[in-house]
Structures are given as C-alpha cells and as structure tokens.
Structure 1
Amino acid sequence: MILDFINNLINENFPTSSSSNDDCENLEAGKVYDDTSGGTLSDRFSLHVVPVDEKNNLFINRISYNTQTNAYYENGILSNKYLKKWAEGTYQWDNIKLKIEYDWKKIYLARVPDTEKRTPFNEIMNDDGEISWKFDYRIGSYIINSLILRLSFGTFDNSASVQWFIKPLPTMKNPDPGWKLIQVNTSGQNVNEIVDVSQFVKDEYGFILQVRLSGGDESPIKWQKSQLFRQNFSVLDKNLETENDETFGLDVNVELKPDVIVDPLIKLSDLDDSTRDFVIHYEFSADDYQIISSSSSLDNEIDKEETDKEKIDKEETDKEETDKEEIDKEPKDLHVHSKLLSNHFSKLLKSKMGESQDKSITLNDSDISYESLEIILNYLYTGKLPIINSYDNWITLLCDASKFFIPTLVQRCEKELRSYLNHDNLNDVKTIANEYGAEQLLRYCDNFEPPLSQQLIETS
C-alpha cells in the first residue's frame, strides 16, 4: 500500500515540459462556499470568490499548494483538494519534477535530473526550470485590491538561484506587460517569506506568477541545488488537519473588488406629497414646434398630387397627430422636494436661481431632455430605473447624471455600459467617460482586453 501511494505521488504521467497542459487529466474541483465562478486558474479551472465578512464590496480568493499531498486547496478548505498534482494548476512549466529524498524524508519540486531526461545530453540547450500560474478574474468582473504571496524555496550553493516574477494580464492600456522581479530576502538556504506584491497588480483583472530555477555548481546533482516548496515527507500523514506557516509552500491570497461599484442611493425620509415644496417648470424649446410646422408644410406639398378625399382624410389624421404632439410639448410643472434636489441639483440651482428665494426653477431642452428628467426624478425617489435597452440612451443618462451630480446613477450607467463596449466604440466611450468624470468606466476602458491579434503581435 505504501509503495502504491509513493508511485501515485511521483509518477504524475506528465511530459517533461508543457505549455498548454493538454495532456493533464481532467479533475473536478473540491466543493467551496458557492458554485459561482469568479475567475479562472490557468485558463482551465474555476476560481471561487468569497465575500469578506462585514466589508462591503470586498472579496477574497486563495489558492494554496501543499507538496506532501501534492495538491492545491482553495479558500483555506483543507477537507477537499481543489486540484490534485502540482502540474494541474500551472499555466506553463518546463523541466520540473516532484522529487523525494527518502534518506532525509523531504519532498519538493526541482529540475529534472540529466539522467532522467529523454533528450540527449549534447542537445540540451537550457537546464533551467520554470513554472507559471495564471489568475484571471475578468469573467467575474473583479479587479485586484491587494495580493499577498507566501513563497517557500531553497538554494544549496552560492551559484544556485530561484527568482520570482509577476506581470498583470494584457489590457488596452498595457497590451504587452513586462515581468517584474519580486524582491525576496534570500539570506540562508531555506526561504519561507510573505511578500506583498499589490503594487504590481492593483486594479488589474489578473496576473501571471512565474518562478525560475537556475544555476548550481556543475555536478551530477546540479538539479538539486535549487528547490521549491520543500516539506517533510511521511506516507502515514497524507491529510491536512491544521494550518500553520509550514503547511503551504505556495500560498496566493487575492483580495478583490467589483470592477464597477454601485453605492446605495441614500433615501430621505418624510418625502410625502404634503411636503413637496419646489416646482420644476419645464419648457420645450421652439425647435420642437418648428419641426412639426416644417413637417406639415412638406405634407401639404405632397398632398397636391392626391385626390380631394385622400387629402381631406390625411389632413384630419395629421391634425390629430399634430394636436397630440403639441399637447405633449406644452410646458409642464413637476412638484418635488427641495431637500431632495439640494443634494444633487445644487450647482444647477445656484446657476439658475442665484440668490433668489423663489421655490421654483425653469429648465428646458438645453439643460436636459424631459425624458431624462423624469427618469432621474423617479430614480431619486424610488431608486429604480426603467428598462433601457439602448447604448445611446445609457450614454445620455450617464451624461445627465454627471451634469446633475448624481454619483450613484453615474455608477449604475457605468455598470450597464460595460456590456455595450467593444473595440469599435471603445475610444468614443473613453472620451465620454473622461469628460463626464465616469472614473470606473474609464478604468474599464483602459483594462479592456486587447484583440487576440494584437496580443499575438505583442508577444511574437
């Protein structure tokens, strides 16, 4: 039984290098708090995001690797293996193998010994080893707030090296991000250090973490001089029951937030009909009437070629429609609460009213369309919006919400506009977001995923 366990642990049936991991066995993830996918690990496995207790708009995701069990765990759940075998969770890897020192009872990842390589020795161009892990939270609409890593490794002669690098995922603002060296205290043979690398990935959708093993004095055991995640090995202790500083050789703690946060609308009390003390007088511009008049004149010219009966019928129909349109364009008085407006319309009220104590204001089409005004007032009273299925209407509402200083409505528009973005309208939306102070939408434009063709060019 013990021999079977050791063989299963070591004989992973992976090739000596991998860039796509297509040969890895398909394993199910262990159960987590919910089934909602907040991201992906190495483009293949769902990452599950957990809300932080008593903190709004903050979430966590944690992936940890234990060498002795040769398994990944998610969100601190030790009772279920998230993924079995180290290579399953990797994005790319080359020249790495799980090794056991039976005499010292140690287990770790290291480079593949020359004696185990299938490639003839004289054809080996690079004896370095490399692993990378990719974390992508774009699918869940999360961006990184902070990133804390626990990195455990060892070097056993002066020329051996283990280096860690990180880079954010490609975006329109940074389509070809470069690797950044993670500074780690390498004094001593064994390193087990917690590192804050938030500065490299804050407000990004994801990142790639990479480790490179290299160097070592020339000898048959050169491969052994740089090691990852070295832990005690015991076939009798295969399950994790407790967590301490030695439990995980790699521990990735990601704190996340939504890419667009919508704050709750602050509702005021005592807003009943009896306390409506302010009047918005809305006047439609003369252009509306001119359009109607021009339309009628054009119709009259066409009518000259029609029969008298057709002409009479059409004139009656046109008159009914014109009368209806003119009624709709009559000035309107909207009775509202001044304390509701003072929180949002303050700049406009000041510019329109000056020092006047009159409890009314006159608006027209040059200030805001009547339709937008109705939507905004209804939102301020109820927190609800009508069904809006048009990109142009969302853009208009965003501009009006910004003009009237309604930040929560701006946020609602930002969130909805994400689904309308594409590479054709991206620059236009970015210009509007910049002009109207929609900072979250502007960041979303900057972080928009580049076209695949551009990514291929940048990486070639």
Structure 2
Amino acid sequence: MNMEGQQYCKVRYPSSVDEETAVLMKKEIFSSNYFCSSKTPLFNDKYPMHVLPHPENPIVFTHRISYDTGKDIYYENGITNKVYLEFWDRGILEFNNIVYYPSYDHTRNQSCRIAYLTRDNFGENFRKSSYIVWKFDYSPTNLQILEGTVRLQHSTLNPDTQIVWYICKLTDNDPTDHKNLNWKIIWFNPIINQRNQHNHLYINVLDDVSITYLIKGGTGFMLRVELRGGHTWEDAQLFRQNMDERDPQGLYAQSETSPFGMDIRIKLKQKKIDEHNSKRSIVYHASTKEEITNNPSDPFVTGLFNNTYRLNILPHQEKSNTFLHRMSYNARTDAYYENGIIEKKYLRIWRRGTLKCKNIAYDADGRSNTIYLCKNPFSTVCSPSLIMWKFDYRPGNLLISSLSVKLDTAMERNYYISWSILALPSNKNQNPEWKSIKFETEMVSHDVVNYFSWNGRIDISDLVKYEYGFILKGEIVYCSRELSWIEAVLFKQRMNKPMPLMDDDENFGMDIRVELVPDITCDPLPLIQWKGNFSAILNDKSTCDFIIILKQNEYTGELQDCFPDFKGYFYVHSHILLAYSDYFRAMFNSNMLEANERRLELCGVSYLIMDKILYFMYYGEILPVNGLSQWYELLYGATRFFVQTLIQRCEKEISKYVTKSNINEIHGLAMDCGAQQLVRYCDMFYIGDESYENRI
C-alpha cells in the first residue's frame, strides 16, 4: 500500500482480537480428504493435522506445514495441488499488529513484486507490540517428537531492527496459560550485508535450522516470533517471497530447494506400542469416506458467500415468507459487513471476500486523501483487471425477489469500467449469460481532466428475479496511458473520516441488498369458524353434517377384502371442507344434488389418500407418507379437491426427492397437477457442477 495513507492508522486493528463473524463452510484439505476422530492432532487448536507414516522407517511418522507467502496459502505434507488453509491469519493461533503486505513497485520491475508479513504500515503503529504465535499439538495421537527442522525466512533492513524467534516444548503436564510456558530462543545463521544499499536486506535468514534439541520428547510445541525496533514498518519482514514464483532471482533471493517462507518438518514416534495404539489408529487416510467440517456440528446454512462463507439471512419484520440479506464493503477499514451490523466485521481484507480477482490492488492516494481498490500497479497497461463476488442462496431454498446495488466507481475518460451480473446456472438455463448493469453517469472536471463516476443505488431486480443467486463482476477493460492505475478506482472513500463507522451512503462503497422468498411457499392454515363451542373430530357421526362415500373400485377393493365391514364412509363437517377446499366450496355454494343430499360419492381415489387429505383438513398435519410414489398420489388428490395448503406442502416434500435422474419425471408430474411452484423448482434445480466458474 502507498504510504500516503499513514494518517489512517487508527482505523485498522490488525490483531487476532479483531474477530470476524463469517463462518467458514468450505471443505479444505484438512476436512475433505481425511478422517478425523478424537485422536486427531490439531494445528492452533482448530484444524486437524494429518500424520503420515515414514516411507522407510515403520516406527516413525512425519508431518509438515508450509506457508507460501506469494499465494498466501498453507500447505500440508508437501501437497501443493490442494489448499490446507487460505490466508496467513487463519493459520495462526494469536497475533498482534501484523499485516500481509504485497509490495507493488510502481516502476513495474518484476524483481520488486514481493509479498511478506510485517508490522502495520500506517503511521506509528509499527512501534506497538508485534508478534505471531503458532501451535502444533500431537498429544491426542500418543506420539512424541523425534526430530524437527524449520525454515523461517525473515529479513531486516537495518541493524536497529530485531526479529526474535522463540519455541516452547509442550508436554502432557504443561500449563494452559501460554504466558507461563518455558520459551527458548531459536538461533539462526543470518546473511549480513554491511552495505545495505537500496533494496538490499541488512539481515536475511534462509537456511533450515534443527530444533530437535528444543522439542525432542514433547507432544507438541508452540512457535512465537516478535518484531522489534527499526525506523519504519518495513524494517522487519517475515517470509519475504516473490508473488508469482517461490524462487525469484537476485541478491538474497530464496533458493529453489527451499521454496517456502515458512516450512516446518517434524518426525514423530509412538510413546509406547501396544495393541490399542497401532499405526492404523494414528494415520488418517485420504481414502476414507467419512468427512469432517471446520465446525464439528455444521450450523443450518441458508446461503454461501463465494462458495466459502455462510450467509446469515434474516426474516423480514413486516412481510411473511420474505427474507433479507445485505453485504457491504468499507475501504477505510478494508472489511466486509453483513446485514448492517457495523460493530463487528464479517470479513477482514477485501480479497478474502472475493470469488475471483485479477490485477486488482488496494491502494491510497495522499493527494486526494482517499483509499480504494484499483488496477494492480504491477500489471501491464492493457491487461484486463477484474473482481468477482458470488451470492448463492440455494442452500436455503431462497429465490431473489428484489436486488439493489451501490457500486461506487470513478474513472478518467481513457478508462472504461464495466459492471455485469450472472445468474447461477439452473436446469432451465444451464449456461447463463452475463448481463450488463447500467448506471447513470456523473461527470466532474478536475485539472482539465474529465472524471466519470457512479455512486448511486440502483434496482437491478429484473436481471436476476426469481434466481437462486448471482455472480457480480467489475472489470477495468481499457487503459491508454502508463502509470494511470489511479485514474480508475472502485469504492473510493476518504481516509480521515472520523470514527465510529456509520451506516450511511458514504461509508459503504459496495452495498448489496437482497430481498428473498422461499422457492416453495407454504401458506398458513385457514382459520375455521365453528358452529357452537366444540372442536370437530373426523368420523364423528354424532356431530357430522356431511358424508363422503368411496365407491368400490380398484382403490378400495383391497381394504374391503381385508376388512369385510369396511364401507368406505367418511363422516365429516362442511365447515372444514369449506375452509380448506375450493372443490367443496364450489359444491356447497351451488344447487348440486350432492350438496342438498349432504352426501358425495367418489371414485378414482384410494381410501388411504382420502384419509390423509381429510386428516390434514381436521388436524393440520400429514399422516406418514410411504415414499415418493405415495407423495405423487397425495399431490394428485390434493389437486383434485383444490386443497391449496396441502398442495404446497406436497410440493415442498416432493422437491426434496428431486435428483438429476428423476427431474424430468417430477417436472412432468408437476405440470399434470398444475403445481406451479414445483414446476419452477424443477426449472431452477441445478444439475451441473461448479466447473462453470472456471470459464467465467
């Protein structure tokens, strides 16, 4: 980030105390490929670690955690084609005053595109206490540490700066308070450059170091690093790496044989071997079918943000069967907020809340005293730059009824920034197309340059109405001059706006507001006006005023064979039939013979189905239904007698049976019955996979 944003130091709070409310739902390698039990070792008391058998020694086990700064990803056991954890701070037990810093050199020099962890880069924040703590706990597996090596790349830019690493061996008897642990210093052999010319590091540590003598025999360990002293925030750097490759060329670059900024390798052995502690009880294989999630008991999910985080959908306070959701982004705090809750951040850091981004950076401009997202200064002049977010309400079976967006955009006339939206694929529309979002443009002249901006809220419901979700994309598609990335910016805001954060139009450069309805709505049951002070009971001959007779046919014959006294009679009350059924309401309001005789003979409906229909009318509940075929019969019966509230409930239950193999069958049934909600459900049902996202 540009250092012109120093005056903004009080807004950010880069600490593990600054918690997020977003719940991770994405199954990463730690959850989707391994079996986890009560004997699973844990990384930072949260994430399962997966101990592997040594390929040559049958009584030894291995484990490895690596961090790639350029990609901001943790890997486990050398598996680099799958993510173990995304984002540096998710792989940390505790930290304070630490930020991830991507360094974009404005000269577009390839060797200067570097990323590292450092102290907060606003104002005097770098003088505050700055540290990180990791924890490796193998105690649940009955293992103890045999050997350990670490590669902890760290650099300083002057002799007044210190980076000190500590380690603490854990045993079964260690205190739970981390402050009372026996911390010991890890000593390194740094490369020292006495000249310290521009862009040269004063101290750079690259080598692997053994920590066996510090942790041998323990059941785990904790690692701590402290950043001290110096004249600026960047004087102390952790895990400095090239952002595109892990082996940049040049002085003091990382070697190709040690590609990770942090690389922890541990060998373990069993404390004792017996029949209850075999190798099978320790190693967790990828072949098992059992999975775990980030949370032992998954909460009810009503929506997903970028396929990763749970969305919290709220009921509308004034409308029944209506729900609300809102997502906002504030550039000043570099955080997302959900549902107008500004006291707690939903997600920190802009890129963590994106589905996909390319050539986008977070920057500040001291001349205009603003902060924003813009084209990556390192990218080539004409290279496309884009950013995407995904809102998926399919898990909650919710459809969009209205959508309004506020997407603050400003650009100089040589730029063109486009906004577009893509509905999520469905059975009816398996290859949706991008639709352009049209804004009313405002033009402002400054220093003989025309600037165009969009900063109002617009309703775009017509683009995604009754869809399950959407992908929103902003794209910078044209640039004609060098060094002009600041002429096209997103979500620009003033840096010095006083705290606290307010929920107003200026504070949120991006503000997405969605109103949702269930894909299948079930209306409340009708209120019945009774004659007299009594509650009706089905088949009560003493109070009934109407009789339904099922004529003997293929549907009633079996019952009559089994029960000779069976007559197929239902003794009912007209008030209930009138309240629930349009069929009976029309009959009673006419001069039909059946209405006058107070009896009706029916054929073509089974006794079991008629019994379920009448039971629902009387008691508001559906008797147990035996499989999909009987739900079909019940829907046909409810449709025949126009019992709308029962039709809706049949639609909802049948929708749970929809699969790729039977969707056409259920769609045809819904069409025959006129069950429009079920028809729409089949049309909107997604039968593909998420691979389409790789093509957008």
TM-score, normalization by structure 2 = 0.53
| Residue 246 (structure 1) aligned with residue 501 (structure 2) | no
Residues 57 and 390 (structure 1 numbering): CA distance in 2 closer, same or farther, change over 3 Å?
A: same
Residue 380 of structure 1 is matched in structure 2 by 617
Change in 2 beyond 3 A, CA 1:159/1:281: same
Is residue 143–residue 258 contact of structure 1 (8 Å, CA) maintained in 2? yes
Instruction: Name the SS of the counterpart of 2:613 in structure 1.
Output: helix
The structural deviation recorded for 1:112 is 1.2
The separation in 1 between residues aligned to 2:684 and 2:610, in whole angstroms, is 32
- Is it true that 1:269 corresponds to 2:533 in the alignment? no
Name which of 488, 492, 497 aligns with 1:230. 492
| Structure (1 or 2) with the greater helix fraction | 1
State the superposition RMSD in angstroms. 3.3
Structure 1 distance, partners of 2:89, 2:588, is: 65
Residue 106 of structure 1, aligned match among 355, 370, 385: 370
- For residues 667 and 513 of structure 2, the distance between their equivalents in structure 1, rounded to whole angstroms, comes to 32
Tell me the residue number matched to 1:211: 474
Q: Which residue is 1:312 aligned to? A: none
1:280 equivalent to 2:519? Answer no
CA distance in 2, matches of 1:192, 1:38: 30
Q: Is 1:346 the equivalent of 2:601?
A: no
User: Match for residue 192 of structure 1?
Assistant: 455
1 CA distance for matches of 2:609 and 2:591?
Answer: 21
The CA distance in 1 between the partners of 2:693 and 2:308, in whole Å, is 24
Unaligned 5+ segments in structure 1 are 29-34, 118-123, 293-321
> How does 1:19-30 map onto structure 2 within 5 Å?
23-25=86-88
> Alpha carbons of 1:426 and 1:125: their partners in 2 closer, same or farther (altered >3 Å)?
farther
Partner of 2:435: 180
Greater relative contact order: 1 or 2 (C-alpha under 8 angstroms, separation 6 or more)? 1
Which residue among 627, 641, 647 is the counterpart of 1:390? Answer: 627
Equivalent in 634, 645, 660 of residue 423 of structure 1: 660
Q: Could you report, residue by residue, the CA deviation over 1:249-287 in whole angstroms, capped at 9, with x for unpaired residues?
A: 000001111111100111313253554211112232268
More displaced 10-residue stretch of structure 1: 36-45 or 63-72: 36-45
- 1:135 deviates by 0.2
Q: Which moved more, 1:176-185 or 1:190-199?
A: 190-199
Contact 2:324-2:515 within 8 A present in 1 as well: yes
Q: CA deviation at 1:51?
A: 0.8
- Name the CA shift for 1:240/1:443 in 2 (closer, same or farther; >3 Å): farther
SS at match of 1:388: coil
Tell me, yes or no, if the aligned pair for 2:382 and 2:480 is still in contact at 8 Å: no
Letter in 2 for 1:403: R
Match of 2:601 among 354, 362, 367: 362
- Residue 406, structure 1, aligned to residue 643, structure 2: yes
Mapped partners of 2:555, 2:611: distance in 1:
21
Pairing of 1:32-111 with structure 2 (within 5 A)? 36-111=300-375
| Amino acid in the other structure paired with 2:673 | Y
Inter-CA distance 363–246: structure 2 relative to 1 (3 Å threshold): same
- Say whether the 8 Å CA contact 1:27–1:84 is kept in structure 2: no
What amino acid is the match of 2:364? I
Decide whether aligned partners of structure 1 residues 456 and 221 sit closer, same or farther in structure 2, where only a CA change above 3 A counts. closer
Match of 1:256 in 2: 516
Question: What secondary structure, in the 3-state scheme, does the structure 2 residue paired with 1:409 have?
Answer: helix
Tell whether the 8 Å contact from 2:568 to 2:607 is kept in structure 1 after alignment.
no
- CA change 1:246–1:15 in 2 (3 A) is farther
Secondary structure of the residue that 2:506 maps to in structure 1?
Answer: coil
Q: CA deviation at 1:104?
A: 2.3
Deviation of residue 202 (structure 1)? Answer: 1.0
User: Secondary structure of 1:147's partner?
Assistant: strand
Mapped to 2, the partners of 1:165 and 1:91 lie a distance apart of: 15
TM-score, length-normalised on structure 1? 0.79
* AA in 1 matched with 2:619: T
State the shift of 1:431 in Å: 0.6
**Range with greater deviation from structure 2 (221-230 or 42-51):** 221-230
Residues in 2 aligned to 1:285 and 1:421: alpha-carbon distance in whole angstroms: 32
Secondary structure at 1:38 match in 2 = coil
Q: Contact 1:89/1:133 (CA < 8 Å) preserved in 2?
A: yes
- Counterpart-to-counterpart distance in 1, 2:440 and 2:343: 33
Displacement of 1:126: 4.6
Counterpart-to-counterpart distance in 1, 2:6 and 2:458: 37
SS at match of 1:37: coil
Paired letter, 2:457: I
- Aligned-pair distance for 1:15? 5.1
Spell out structure 1 runs of 4+ moving beyond 4 A.
1-10, 13-16, 20-23, 25-28, 286-289, 347-353, 455-460
Question: Quick one: percent identity of the two aligned structures?
Answer: 32
Q: Counterpart in 2 of 1:313?
A: none
Asked if 2 retains the 8 angstrom alpha-carbon contact of 1:167 and 1:207, the reply is: yes
SS in 2 for 1:442: helix
CA distance in 2: counterparts of 1:377 and 1:7, whole angstroms: 63
Partner of 1:148: 404
1:348 touches 1:404 (CA, 8 Å); kept in 2?
Answer: no
* Distance in 2 (alpha carbons) for counterparts of 1:285 and 1:341: 24
Corresponding residue for residue 298 of structure 1: none
Cα separation, 2, equivalents of 1:105 and 1:112: 19
CA contact (8 A) 2:382 2:479 kept: no
| 1:432 CA displacement | 0.8
Cα contact 1:39–1:138 (8 A) shared by 2: yes
- Matches of 2:475 and 2:419 in 1, distance apart? 7
CA drift of 1:204 comes to: 0.8
AA in 1 matched with 2:614: L
Q: Which of 137, 153, 156 in structure 1 is aligned with 2:393? A: 137
Q: Structure 1 242/8 Cα, relative in aligned 2: closer, same or farther at 3 Å?
A: closer
Aligned to 2:569: 333
Structure with a larger share of its residues in strand: 2
